[in-house]
Amino acid sequence: MKHTISILVENHAGVLARISGLFARRAFNIDSLAVGMTSDPSISRITIIADGDEHTAQQIEKQLNKLVDTMKVRSLPAEEMLSRELQFIKVSATPAQRSEILTICEIMGAKIADMCTDAVTIEVSGTAEQLDKMHELLKGYGIKEVVRTGVIAIQKGSAVLK
Amino acid sequence: MIKAAEAMVKCLDQEGIRVVFGYPGAAICPFFDALYASDIHHVLVRHEANAGHAASGYARITNKPAVCIATSGPGATNLLTAIATAYADSIPLVCITGQVSTDQIGGDVFQEADITGAAEPFVKHSYLVKDASALPRIFKEAFYLAGTGRKGPVLIDVPVDVQNTLIDFSYPETVQMRTYKPTVKGNPLQIQKICEMLQSAKKPLICAGGGVFLSGAQDELIAFAEKTHIPVVSTMMGIGILPSAHPLYLGMLGMHGTASANTAVHECDVMLLIGARVGDRAVRSPKFLAESTTIIHMDIDPAEIGKNISTDIPLVGDCEAILTAMTEKIGDMPDNPWFAELAEKRKDTSVYASYGERINPKAFLRELSAKLPDNTVCVADVGQNQIWSCNHFGIREGGRFLTTGGMGTMGYSLPCGIGAKMADPNREVVVVCGDGSFQMQMMELATMMQEGIAVKVVIFANTRLGMVREIQTLRYGDRQMAVHLNGSPDFAALARSYGMDAENAYTEAEAYEKMQKLVDSDKPYLLVCHVDPLEPTLS
Ligand SMILES: Cc1ncc(C[n+]2csc(CCOP(=O)(O)OP(=O)(O)O)c2C)c(N)n1
């Protein structure tokens, strides 16, 4: 089962190594990891998608809480959160194919970020399902490269993590 | 303005540190130079791991963080085993290492090792100090972190140029950390629930672990057990919380434990775990146990609760405070008939009967402990010698039993004993080890002689790595591989060459005669008891 875990940590050197090291040595699997600053520059927010049963998820939370750099850990239930991922997809495209691709992008809410004679780079953000769908639609043109940021997530409504 | 190295020494002063254990090298020279000018006593060990183990012994007797020091690179990596041992055993240490200069970090220069990286899995927290002015805050935090909550080692890695930087020194009075806030007081509702659960139990049992010592809650645990008449088993790290002969104590549980303790664990209907993490050597099938027993788990570390065994009633907090509250709350409980049956099992004396001519190590340890003062500290190494000590070295009121139950690091006992003796020089300290483990630490005889402290050492020489030999005998068709200790020196002659009194004993009569000398001597004394290579651990 997938768990979306949001973590607030002190923003200083070595913190990410501590978090990722903890996952590795306790045999917790990370599917995705994203880090960024929060509105307070001394605090970073990490979003991790982890795989495991309920016991593993509980242990992950508790072990993360034990790290001295950790300020807050919360596992976000799927129905109570919004999650997004940003992705670049570079596909082969002859000039003749460009307008088709552009149409797909419009329908899917994606953007052309860059273009050259034989390829276009598409920028798309969304949920995992939306991104999978985009892949499906572009597969036929020949996907040359994909870059993803990892998922970020936030609670719905007025609740905040602090 | 003073040099940061001097500031580091002042930090130790402020923390009340009188003794440190270490080994120098170029990258930590500024700090040693500052120690030269201070009245903190530095003990020069003969291997950095032993600086950590000695600090561990010191910390376990004072129940406060103790300090060990090593240089960069190989010094720091040598210290690593001791850091990992302290982590597994939850012993509060502040470990200080030198590091190559800031501008060289990452360049693979001479004696550079990423020690904060390497030690990460085994430390409660670590610091690589890049800003000298942060040192006072870092020291304050390090001592606080090591000695509160679930105790453990904290590492401070200080580049040599940082040690030489001039800073304004003032030691912070309080710790200001927005992240770290250990829970100390137990939830009163849970405490109430636990009391009710225990009072309605038919066969309640307490399992006490090393956390009780770390919390300083020995007296509180005894008071609780005596008020409720609930019998007590201990983990290896919990040995000595109750005196061995206490009427409610059933001994150590687990793979190498006593029949009475294991029967109690098997039969109980409610088990109160206190400061014990249900390690695999203590409880082999926690799943099975949890199915038939109501598990109440008290620990200062929330992550231990539910980790190894599923728990019916969890309680996070410091067990001293919790046990005090529980003793007040809980109503009287009558004597339990179940306990009388268990107590019967303790009466089997066959394993420590005399062998006549040969030395029975179990009988020897019983006799030795009876002869030593009540407040003796016994330090056991790892292997058969350790299990014999666990089950047969009698601990009386005020006595202590130290061993590494969590990591099981051979070579722990002598340096730990040295540290324990330095912490309380008036107490008798006796170290028990095997001929294998002795050879992992015998260089520390020199430290002991240099310090002029009278630790007593007993080696059970069986010419084997006995514990491994036994595994091979029982589970590998007696194919004894890499367990023969041929080529060992005469350990007594070796000890004498250090200037110690030391003797060999080959028979029971000799052993008992020399035991008396060991007990009567006020100097360091080493006794080699030659025991049968096939002497079993338990039977
Ligand atoms: C550093 C380290 N290496 C290896 C082991 C594995 N080990 C556990 S007990 C043991 C044998 C110990 O032999 P000895 O010290 O002679 O004690 P005995 O079992 O014979 O009493 C070994 C090798 C260990 N615990 N620690």
CB contacts of B116 in chain A (<8 Å) are 14
Residue A62 to residue B178, Cβ atoms within 8 A:
no
Closest CB to A70 among B117, B179, B307: B179
As a whole number, mean pLDDT of residues B95-112 equals 97
- B181 or B166: which leads in pLDDT: B166
Question: Which residue spans within B393-474 are E strands per DSSP?
Answer: 400-402, 429-434, 456-461
Amino acid B349: pLDDT: 84
Handedness of CA B51, B444, B535, B489 (dihedral sign): positive
Of the listed ranges A131-140, B113-122, B179-188, B386-395, the least confidently predicted one is B179-188
For residue B408 and ligand 1, the question of a CB distance below 6 A is answered with yes
B117–A contact, CB cutoff 8 A = yes
The backbone torsions φ and ψ at residue B394, rounded to the nearest 5 degrees and listed phi first, read -70, 130
Residue B351 pLDDT > 90: no
Disruptive mutation site among A11, A38, A66, A70 for chain B (greatest number of B CBs within 10 Å):
A66
Residue A88 pLDDT > 90: yes
Residue B303 to residue A66, Cβ atoms within 8 A:
yes
From B523's Cα to the closest Cα of chain A, the distance in A is: 45
For residue B380 and ligand 1, the question of a CB distance below 6 A is answered with no
Domain boundaries for CATH 3.30.70.1150 within chain A: 82-152
The type of residue at B237 is M
Closest CB to B120 among A13, A18, A59: A18
**pLDDT tens-digit series, residues B288-310:** 898 999 999 999 999 999 999 99
Domain boundaries for CATH 3.30.70.260 within chain A: 2-76
Would you list the DSSP string of B86-104? HHHHT--EEEEEEE--GGG
Atom 3, ligand 1: residue with shortest CA distance:
B410
Q: Which of residues 11-40 of A touch B (CB under 8 A)?
A: 13-14, 17-18, 21, 25
For residue B385 and ligand 1, the question of a CB distance below 6 A is answered with yes
Amino acid B68: pLDDT: 98
What's the complex ipTM?
A: 0.91
**pLDDT tens-digit series, residues B201-214:** 999 999 999 999 99
Amino acid B199: pLDDT: 95
Atom 23, ligand 1: residue with shortest CA distance:
B465
Q: Does domain B2-167 have CATH number 1.10.1330.10?
A: no
Residue B344 pLDDT > 90: no
Q: Per CATH, which fold does A2-76 belong to?
A: Alpha-Beta Plaits (3.30.70)
In chain A, DSSP finds a helix count (H) and a strand count (E) of 4, 9
**pLDDT tens-digit series, residues B461-502:** 999 999 999 999 999 999 999 999 999 999 999 999 999 999
Amino acid B414: pLDDT: 98
Residue B179 to residue A69, Cβ atoms within 8 A:
yes
The Å distance, Cα B295 to ligand 1 centre, comes to 33
CB contacts of A58 in chain B (<8 Å) are 306
Q: Do B266 and B285 meet the contact criterion of CB atoms below 8 Å apart?
A: no
Q: For A82-152, which CATH class?
A: alpha beta
As a whole number, mean pLDDT of residues B323-342 equals 90
Q: What is the CATH number of domain B188-346?
A: 3.40.50.1220
Amino acid B335: pLDDT: 83
Amino acid B340: pLDDT: 83
Mean pLDDT score across all residues of chain A: 95
Disruptive mutation site among B123, B157, B179, B305 for chain A (greatest number of A CBs within 10 Å):
B179
Question: Which residue spans within A26-151 are E strands per DSSP?
Answer: 29-37, 43-51, 70-76, 81-92, 111-115, 119-126, 143-148
Amino acid B263: pLDDT: 94
Can you list the alpha helix ranges (DSSP code H) found in B37-114? 48-62, 74-89
Please give the number of the atom of ligand 1 that sits closest to the Cα of B440.
Answer: 1
Amino acid B348: pLDDT: 79
For residue B382 and ligand 1, the question of a CB distance below 6 A is answered with yes
Q: Do B117 and B29 meet the contact criterion of CB atoms below 8 Å apart?
A: no
As a whole number, mean pLDDT of residues A153-159 equals 96
The Å distance, Cα B464 to ligand 1 centre, comes to 9
For residue B435 and ligand 1, the question of a CB distance below 6 A is answered with yes
Residue with tokens 């639609």: A137
A71–B contact, CB cutoff 8 A = yes
Percentage of chain B lying above the pLDDT 70 cut: 100
Q: Which H or E element spans position B313?
A: strand B313-316
**pLDDT tens-digit series, residues B144-179:** 999 999 999 999 999 999 999 999 999 999 999 999
Domain boundaries for CATH 3.40.50.970 within chain B: 2-167, 352-530
As a whole number, mean pLDDT of residues B247-274 equals 95
Residue B539 pLDDT > 90: no
| CATH superfamily ID and name for B352-530 | Thiamin diphosphate (ThDP)-binding fold, Pyr/PP domains (3.40.50.970)
Residue A59 to residue B303, Cβ atoms within 8 A:
yes
B137–A contact, CB cutoff 8 A = no
As a whole number, mean pLDDT of residues B76-104 equals 98
Give the global pTM: 0.96
The Å distance, Cα B384 to ligand 1 centre, comes to 8
Residue A31 pLDDT > 90: yes
Q: How far apart are CA B98 and CA B30, in angstroms?
A: 9
- A vs B: CB pairs below 8 A: 34
Q: Which residue of B has its CA nearest to A68?
A: B180
Closest CB to A68 among B121, B180, B303: B180
